[in-house]
A = this chain, B = another copy of it.
Amino acid sequence: MIDQTKLPTALEYIECRDPETVFAAIRRLSVRGAPAIGIAAAMGLVLGIRDFGVRPGVGDEGGGGHEGFVKVVNRVSDYLASSRPTAVNLFWALERMKRCALKHMAQSIDKIKQAMLDEALAIRDEDARMCHAIGRHGAALIPEGGSVITHCNAGSLATAEYGTALAPMYASHAEGKSFTVYVDETRPLLQGARLTAWELMRAGIQIALICDNAAAHVMKRKGVDVVITGADRIAANGDAANKIGTYGLAVLAQAHGVPFYIAAPSSTFDLDACDGDSIPIEERDPDEIRRGFGVLTAPVDAPCYCPAFDVTPASLIAGIITEKGLISPVTGDSICETLGS
């Protein structure tokens, strides 16, 4: 896997041949983005059971039979789950892998291993199909010769392929369309500058990196056809929490008559949250602002307000692009209709 901590200055790969390497890669954010973490963990579990009964010492704890195999599956799964305790997709992928093992328990251990490898690949392929479906449903929003603004990174580095927020751009590029993506650098952690700029450039898509505060000027002077961002969590009424700065971008888009879209998988919806007010806003370490680049750029004791997310109300969102289709207009009813289909 790509070591994302080295981007954008170096493209280095981490070769994972055991769960320990996968664990370390997840923990130190070499792999990030919910789908990518889930896929990495599933593959890590496969690596952890691969040598069971083959290499001496592996699976000693259960005596080597099916009972011992289950113990190893659980041990490696628990171990990988502890790499990032708040990553929901990590637990989801590992649970799915364990269910797969149990389902095949009547078969030989070799057959179970094969089923688990197939399951891990299925998780990856489903994610790739989901990204492509989002791309397909969103590509029409980008006109030939047009321009897009995006914020943060929900791209191919976070998923198996294409990404979510960037999928309409990759799909448009694959269709041969020419367009420009204005990439918000996305303070404080600069995911736009470090990751989105890197992956779009690598794909041959034309970009212009901008400071977050230049978006309004770009909309006014350059003409922008559409704003597309991802989302971390979408409430039942369509209010969407995403990286700090998204809400401001949506307000600016409305003021300039530019449609604002969110592209996110259906798993992003949290239908238990009735609206955006019920989504808690995490506050981050002030040093992300004061020394966000490893360099002190503010008084060392400057009080900061550093929210990780903001909430964009459904009223500002022209549509939500999911793998199940485009939800537009964004209402509780239209969301239920698309997600239920």
Contact = CB atoms under 8 A, between A and B. Distances in A.
Contact of A306 (B211, B244, B294): B211
A169 to B, nearest CB: 15
Given A214-B244, A218-B305, A245-B214, A295 B298 contact: no
Interface in A276-315: 281, 286, 289-290, 292-307, 310
B310 A198 contact: no
Contact of A220 (B185, B212, B247, B303): B247
A210 interface: yes
A217 B307 contact: yes
Contact of A193 (B185, B302, B306): B302
A40 to B, nearest CB: 24
Contacts of A109: none
A255 B210 CA distance: 23
Contact of A247 (B190, B216, B281): B216
A248 B217 contact: yes
B210 A304 contact: yes
B296 A9 contact: yes
Interface stretch (A64-72, A92-100, A201-209): A201-209
Given A217-B244, A290-B193, A299 B198 contact: yes
A197 interface: yes
Nearest to A300: B9
A318 interface: no
B289 A293 contact: no
Interface in A167-214: 182, 184-188, 190, 193-194, 197-198, 201, 206-214
Contacts of A245: 211, 213-214
A272 to B, nearest CB: 22
Nearest to A202: B299
Interface in A69-117: none
A258 interface: no
Contacts of A63: none
25 contacts: A8-B299, A185-B298, A187-B211, A187-B212, A188-B211, A190-B298, A193-B289, A193-B297, A207-B303, A208-B303, A208-B305, A209-B290, A209-B303, A210-B305, A210-B306, A213-B249, A214-B245, A215-B248, A216-B247, A217-B244, A217-B248, A222-B305, A251-B251, A254-B255, A255-B255
Interface of A: 8-9, 182, 184-188, 190, 193-194, 197-198, 201, 206-218, 220-222, 244-245, 247-249, 251-252, 254-255, 281, 286, 289-290, 292-307, 310
